[in-house]
């Protein structure tokens, strides 16, 4: 157990729907990162939050949004889902000043049918 | 051209072999170099971390960074079936003036199978 908790583990939904993915960071970590992983694109950085505030944005679509709550858990909202959104979505957390990388959760596997 | 290039493999070796995994990069500002291991259906886990150039050894694993060639390597000695996984390289520039991490840039990962 890495200490980063992601729910749900699997999600199957239809095109056009909206889903919410949840992440609880490792104890003491203030930064949360969201990544999308697909076979052909690899790990794609979506967005980072630090202590409730958006800190950096990557290749996140306008249909996607995220937030980090006062208890530091984070949610990634995906709307108007398309078949191409099917992927593994990972959350990672870190102590901001630690450049040695992140601790990842086990991911949410999203399948859009 | 991608900032980080990594051969996706797959790479298949017999148990006990020495494995060499590599990444090349184009951004000379990168200072921090990491190797992650990802088992099937799991999140990546940090395996090795190296700052700037040089070698780092941890058990059967050795990470090398050659900044002049913009080339990093991970060597696995006496490979075991439990080493079968995807290995991803990641790198970043030094933190900004406020001490915040720069974005990690990832390779696509190399799939490794170690056969008993």
Residue B18 has what pLDDT?
98
Chain B residue nearest residue A36, CA to CA: B43
Distance separating alpha carbons of residues A105 and B114, to the nearest angstrom: 25
Q: Which chain A residues are within 8 Å of B44, Cβ to Cβ?
A: 43, 90, 104
CA distance B114 to B83: 7
For residue B65, give the nearest of B56, B53, B57, B76 by alpha carbon: B53
A-chain residues near B93 (CB < 8 A)? none
pLDDT confidence band for A98 (50 / 70 / 90)? low
Smallest CA–CA separation between A43 and chain B, in Å? 7
Higher pLDDT, A108 or B51: A108
CA distance A73 to A93: 10
Quick one: tokens of B68? 């002049």
- Amino acid A2: pLDDT: 85
Structure tokens at A4: 């980063």
Report DSSP letters for B9-71, one per residue. Answer: --EEEETT--EEEEEEE--TTEEEEEEEEE-TTS--EEEEEEESSEEEEETTEEEEEETTTTE
- Average model confidence (pLDDT) across chain A: 93
Question: Nearest-CA residue of chain A relative to B43?
Answer: A106
- Residue B44 or A40, more confident: B44
A35-53 confidence digits (pLDDT tens): 999 877 788 999 999 999 9
pLDDT band with cut points at 50, 70 and 90 for residue B53? confident
Q: Which of B88, B94, B95 has the CB atom closest to A43's CB atom?
A: B88
Tokens 């056009």 sit on residue: A16
More confident residue, A40 or A99: A40
In this structure, are residues A1 and A105 in contact, taking their beta carbons and an 8 Å threshold? Answer: no
Tens digits of per-residue pLDDT, A1-48? 889 999 999 999 999 999 999 999 999 999 999 999 987 778 899 999
| B106 vs A contacts (CB less than 8 Å) | 42-43, 45
Kindly state whether B49 is in contact with chain A, defined as any CB-CB distance less than 8 angstroms: yes
**Is some CB atom of chain A closer than 8 A to the CB atom of B44?**
yes
Q: What is the pLDDT of residues B64-97, one digit of tens each?
A: 999 999 999 999 999 999 999 999 999 988 777 7
DSSP single-letter state for residue B3: S
Task: For an interface test with B, give the residue of A6, A9, A101 to mutate (most B CBs within 10 A).
Answer: A101
Rg of chain A, C-alpha, whole Å: 13
Question: Is B103 in contact with A58 (Cβ distance < 8 A)?
Answer: yes
Region at A16 (left for phi over 0; alpha for psi -120 to 50; beta for the rest):
left
Where residue B100 falls among pLDDT bands split at 50, 70, 90? Answer: low
The pLDDT of A63-80, averaged and rounded, is 97
Query: How many angstroms separate the most distant Cα atoms in chain B?
Result: 49
Can you tell me the distance from the alpha carbon of B115 to that of B10, in angstroms, rounded to the nearest whole number? 13
Cβ contacts (< 8 Å) between B99 and chain A: which residues? Answer: 96-97
Question: Are A102 and B104 an interchain contact pair (Cβ–Cβ within 8 Å)?
Answer: yes
């Amino acid at each position: 157990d890495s200490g980063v908790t992601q729910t749900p583990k699997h999600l199957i939904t239809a095109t056009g729907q909206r889903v919410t993915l949840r992440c609880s960071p490792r104890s003491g970590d203030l930064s949360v990162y969201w990544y999308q992983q697909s076979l052909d694109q690899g790990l794609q950085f979506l967005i980072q939050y630090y202590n409730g505030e958006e800190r950096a944005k990557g290749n996140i679509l306008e249909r996607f949004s995220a937030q980090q709550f006062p208890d530091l858990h984070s949610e990634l909202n995906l709307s108007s889902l398309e078949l191409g959104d099917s992927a593994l979505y990972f959350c990672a957390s870190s102590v901001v000043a630690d450049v040695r990388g992140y601790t990842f959760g086990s991911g949410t596997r999203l399948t859009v049918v | 051209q991608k900032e980080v290039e990594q051969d996706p493999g797959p790479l298949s070796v017999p148990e006990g072999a020495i494995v060499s995994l590599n990444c090349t990069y184009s951004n000379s500002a990168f200072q921090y170099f990491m190797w992650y291991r990802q088992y099937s259906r799991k999140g990546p886990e940090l395996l090795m971390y190296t700052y700037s150039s040089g070698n780092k050894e941890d058990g059967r694993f050795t990470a090398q960074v050659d900044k002049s060639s913009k080339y990093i390597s991970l060597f696995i000695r006496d490979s075991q079936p439990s080493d079968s996984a995807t290995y991803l390289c990641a790198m970043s520039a030094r933190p900004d003036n406020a001490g915040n991490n720069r974005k990690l840039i990832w390779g696509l990962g190399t799939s490794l199978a170690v056969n008993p």
